Structure formats: structure tokens, C-alpha cells
Amino acid sequence: LNFWQFTYCVFVLSLFSSDVLALPIFKQEESNLPPDSDNKILPFQYVLCAATSPAVKLHDETLTYLNQGQSYEIRMLDNRKIGELPEITGKMVKSIIRVVFHDRRLQYTEHQQLEGWRWNRPGDRILDLDIPMSVGIIDPRANPTQLNTVEFLWDPSKRTSVFIQVHCISTEFTMRKHGGEKGVPFRIQIDTFKENESEEYTEHLHSASCQVKVFKPKGADRKQKTDREKMEKRAPQEKEKYQPSYETTILTECSPWPEVTYVNNSPSPGFNSTHNSFPVAEGIFHPVSTNLLPTATPQDAQQWLHRNRFSPFCRLFTNFSGADLLKLTREDVIQICGPADGIRLFNALKGRVVRPRLTIYVCQESQQAREQQPKHENVYHAIYLEELTASELTEKIAQLFNISPRQINQIFKQGPTGIHVLVSDEMIQNFQDEVCFVLDTMKGI
């Protein structure tokens, strides 16, 4: 085959979007509860037996200081009216306790933060149950892969108290650690479920949470004492702006913590599979992409994340529709998922295929047609090369014209004064990207 090089043009399209994503509202900012939730009686109440800080302003959420590794009691109270939720009378319910981040920035990167903690503290857990001190809990469990989560069954009609231990401290997750830095707040959240028809504890009943900070042993007592002394020095008018310190912390109602396991795994119609290939022959280049559509529902988006190996981030994007995900900028995704997974997710969202190392355009025509037809009317086909070898080029040309590679003896490039130069690996490695060639055939000798 003889190559004849022509001049070529490359057109570049610049695409941009001026849409700005409206970030999700997390539960400590807006609980998404009904307007009359303040007046209704909740089915359960959870009370953490630790004093609240006196240095919290009125109408702000309470803040409770805990010591690392110390056992704290949480009383699980049945608050139902007579005849309310009769289906759980005499039956067990399941509660899941979590220690999660309060700040939005850390909620975005929770997976990476917890993996970093696991790496620095091998064998340790963020949250543990003190089983010997606990009362009324049945079948307590702690998943080895979920360091910040414990779960258990309990009977609401019986006295139940669970003792927990938090082993991480708030300063372990601060950005800069020069000493004296403020620790990040956590949330202790409890989600309670009842059995469904399949006897699985998946029907949500109630969720509540509170804000805490965790200090090194005895650090919480010192911090509580410091806050109390500061408040005592304030003028009476200033003290009125702050909450009193309560002996216990009542967890306030909130939205349930999203669970990836509850996502419907049925096939979703919100995807578009496109197969782009040349009509000349199969096997040249098949960029098969499953693109997320803007019309995809949050459930569709969850399925797309699973299929594209982004399962660890499904919970972060629980309420994101296809349009929400597609509006994310590259910087947004990297901040949420970290550099490595963030770049991979951004490329997947934009439907980007891996760019080949070398692209050349080829056209086959006879010498007579080449003399009679203007060059711009020629139809070219793209060949994508990764290995940049003569054998790879031979295979791709054979696939393009639906022949066996054995039928191609050698490949030449027409050089100065019409000489035939044998195409080698080194020559291909020095080809310019997106260069155009015309193919011609000659019989082997």
C-alpha cells in the first residue's frame, strides 16, 4: 500500500456551561421535616447522658463535649401514644448509630477522611458499643468495613440503654495541624427501623441526631469548665443571649441517613447507550459509552454510579438527579471525591473516552479518481493507534477494509521524488497526530 500525504485542517469546538449547581442542603441546615413537627409527639426519644455546653447562643443547636474512648449512655425511650404504631408492639426494632461529620466540606469527602483515619489507626474503630454496660440491646453488630457505625435490636416496651465509645478526636480531621487548632464537630445520629413483610428491618420509623466534639481523655471536662468560667465572667445581659447548660443532650429529629443498600437495583430507562463505529467494517474503533442523561432521576443516577464503579460515593449523591450531577464542575467533583476518583468521575459524567495516542485519517482511491476529483470531496476514515507499531497499523487497515492482515505484505510511505519508504515502528512514532493519507495498492513481488 502506498501512502500519499495531503494538507489537512483541524477544527476545534469549545463547549462551556454557565450553569451553577445548587448544592444540596444537609440535615443540620434544614431538616426537611413537616412544618408542624415541633408540636407533634415523636415515637421515640434518644437522650445522650452528657452535659451540653453553656457557650452556645440561643436558637443555635446544642453542642456536647465527649472524651475519647469514654463510655456514654444513650437512653432509648418509647414515646408513643396509646395505640400509636401498634404493628411494633411486642416486636423488636432496629437502631443504627453513626458518628458522621457535621461540616458540609467533610461530608463531601467522608469516604476519603475515614479511609485516611483507618490507614493511620489500623485495627481501631471510630465508634464502638460498650456491651457489658448496655441494657436491653439484642444482637449488637459492628461491620468491620464501617468504622463509624454500630447497630442493634431492642424492644421499645422494655428499658433500653446503649453505651457508646467514640475513639476519634475532633482535631484528627482539621486541615492544618500546628497545635491549638479548633476541632471539627461531629454528629451522633440514630436511625430506627421496623420489619417489613420480608422480616427485614428497612421501614424507617424515626431519626434524630446531636452535635458533639470529641477531645482527648479528660479534655471534654476541661473544655466544659472553661466555657462555664467564661460565661460566669459575662455581663447579665450577655448571658441572656446564651443557652443554659443541660445535664443531658436530647437528640433532635432529622432526616434519615441515606443508605445505598435501599436503592432500587432494577434496570433504569434513564440511560442512553450509543455505539459509534465505521460502516466500512467492524473492529476499528467502538467507543461504547453509557451516558447519564439530564432527565435521569436520583434513582437512575444511583444506578449509573454503581455501574461505573463509583459505589463509594453513592451516599454523597443520594438526592442528585442526572441534571445535578452533570452541572458539577471539575473542581466540584475533585473536592467531593478527591483528585483520583474526582477526575475519573468528571470524565465519565462528560462521556469522555480515553484519547488514543495517535489518530490518522486514511482514504482509498485509484490514481484516476485522485486526478479527476477535488481533494476535499474524498471520504476519510479514522484509525486510532495505541501501540504505535507497524503490526498494529497493519491490523487496523485490514479491519477497516474487511480483509485478513496476512493479505497485506508490507506498508510503504511515498517519500521525496516518489520513492517508497518502508513503514517501521519508529516512523509511526514520529507521525504527526491527525495527519491525512491516501491509500493505494500494488501487487506484491
Q: What is the pLDDT of residue 64?
A: 95
Instruction: Work out whether the CA dihedral 295, 300, 302, 307 comes out positive or negative.
Output: negative
Determine contact, residues 267/259, Cβ cutoff 8 Å: no
Residue 182 pLDDT grade (very low, low, confident, very high; cuts 50, 70, 90) = confident
Q: Which residue has the higher pLDDT, 287 or 73?
A: 73
Closest alpha carbon to 147 in 177, 173, 113, 175: 113
Residue 376 pLDDT grade (very low, low, confident, very high; cuts 50, 70, 90) = low
Condensed to tens digits (0 to 9), the pLDDT of residues 250-268 reads: 999 988 887 643 333 333 2
φ, ψ at 418 (rounded to 5°): 85, 10
Condensed to tens digits (0 to 9), the pLDDT of residues 391-418 reads: 899 888 888 888 888 888 888 888 888 8
Determine contact, residues 248/46, Cβ cutoff 8 Å: no
Condensed to tens digits (0 to 9), the pLDDT of residues 334-375 reads: 888 888 888 888 888 887 556 788 899 888 765 555 555 555
Q: What is the mean pLDDT of the chain?
A: 78
Q: What is the pLDDT of residue 252?
A: 92
All 3 cell numbers of residue 420?
517508497
427-441 exposure pattern, b = at least 16 Cβ within 10 A, e = fewer: ebeebeeebbbbbbe
Query: Residue 215: how many CA atoms within 13 Å on its side-chain side?
Result: 15
Rounded-to-5 percentages of helix, strand, coil across the chain: 25, 25, 45
284-318 exposure pattern, b = at least 16 Cβ within 10 A, e = fewer: bbeeeeebbbeebebbbbbbbbeeeebeebbbbbb
Residue 174 pLDDT grade (very low, low, confident, very high; cuts 50, 70, 90) = confident
Closest alpha carbon to 48 in 154, 147, 165: 165
Task: Output the CA angle 383-388-392, nearest 5 degrees.
Answer: 65
Q: Which residue has the higher pLDDT, 215 or 83?
A: 215
Q: Which residue has the higher pLDDT, 354 or 74?
A: 74
Q: What is the pLDDT of residue 181?
A: 57
Q: What are the start-end ranges of the H helices in 308-411? A: 322-326, 330-337, 339-349, 367-372, 390-400
Length of the chain: 445
Task: Output the CA angle 364-368-373, nearest 5 degrees.
Answer: 75
Q: Does the pTM of the predicted model rise above 0.85?
A: no
Look at residue 269 and tell me whether its pLDDT is greater than 80: no
Secondary structure letter of residue 221 according to DSSP: H
> Which residues partner with 88 through β-bridges?
none
Helix (H) or strand (E) holding 115: helix 110-120
* DSSP-based three-state secondary structure for 193: strand
Q: What is the pLDDT of residue 29?
A: 41
Residue 34 pLDDT grade (very low, low, confident, very high; cuts 50, 70, 90) = very low
* DSSP-based three-state secondary structure for 45: strand
CA dist 440 → 2, 4, 362, 411 (Å):
5, 8, 10, 10
Distance CA 299, CA 322 (A): 9
Condensed to tens digits (0 to 9), the pLDDT of residues 110-156 reads: 777 888 888 888 888 999 999 999 999 999 998 888 889 999 999 99
